[in-house]
Amino acid sequence: MLGLSVDSVPCLKAWSESLGGITYPLLSDFYPHGKVAEIFGVLRPEGYTERAIFVMDKQGIICYVDVHDIDTQPDNDELFRILTEVDPEVAESVRASQLLDMQTSTEPDADVTLYCTPWCPDCPEVRRYFKQHDIPYVEIDISRDRAAAARVRGWADGNETTPIINIHGQIIVTYDQAKVEKALGMKR
């Protein structure tokens, strides 16, 4: 799953953060402005897009299109039904994997745990900080571990915010170096 917007990268980052983080990559269609949206027929003359969902099969053939009002949220059950029709084997595999994750994933036995996503803009900075200070940590990708994502939502008011850092049971939502140092008992 990918999100695409005609907004700039800094704007997308701010929007994602305002939502408390998201669990899929966002791509900027900013320059040339709206070129991809134009190709897909959803760029308005005013320069912004319709809210649209496109489902493609493995051959790149569009199997489903949903263009709807910007204030209307898509029906996730309907989308999963469409995805199941497009590739039943993958859909069943995803469903089984999610059930297994929910049953087996637990908080790791580590002093420091970093919850992240591959596209988290601040996670590389946290990794660099930990490496620079020789701080051992366990990293969990919440886009692959849905039980961990559920824990993150519990800590972040229902949002899948990243990074989240668990230091000796103290949860730090988003990267704050001063809070990390305090939780680690480091002198400033």
| pLDDT at res. 17 | 75
Residue 165: closest CA among 142, 132, 134: 142
The total number of structural domains that make up the chain:
2
**112/20 Cα distance (integer angstroms):** 21
CB 40 within 8 A of CB 29: no
Write the pLDDT tens digit of every residue in 46-82: 988 888 889 888 888 998 898 987 667 676 667 778 8
Shared-domain flag, residues 41 and 127: no
Question: What is the per-residue pLDDT for 8?
Answer: 92
What CATH code is carried by the domain that includes residue 162?
3.40.30.10
Q: Are residues 77 and 111 in the same domain?
A: no
Q: Which helix (H) or strand (E) holds 51?
A: strand 51-56
Q: Are residues 146 and 68 in the same domain?
A: no
Q: Can you give the pLDDT at residue 99? A: 57
Long-range contacts of 157-161 (CB under 8 A, 24+ apart): 157/20, 158/20, 159/19, 159/20, 159/21, 160/20, 160/21, 160/22, 160/23, 160/117, 161/20, 161/21
**Which residues of the chain register pLDDT less than 50?**
101
Residue 40 pLDDT: 92
- pTM beyond 0.85: no
Is residue 17 domain-shared with residue 61, that is, in the same domain?
yes
Q: Residue 35's domain spans which residues?
A: 3-103
Choosing from 103, 120, 142, the residue where a domain stops is 103
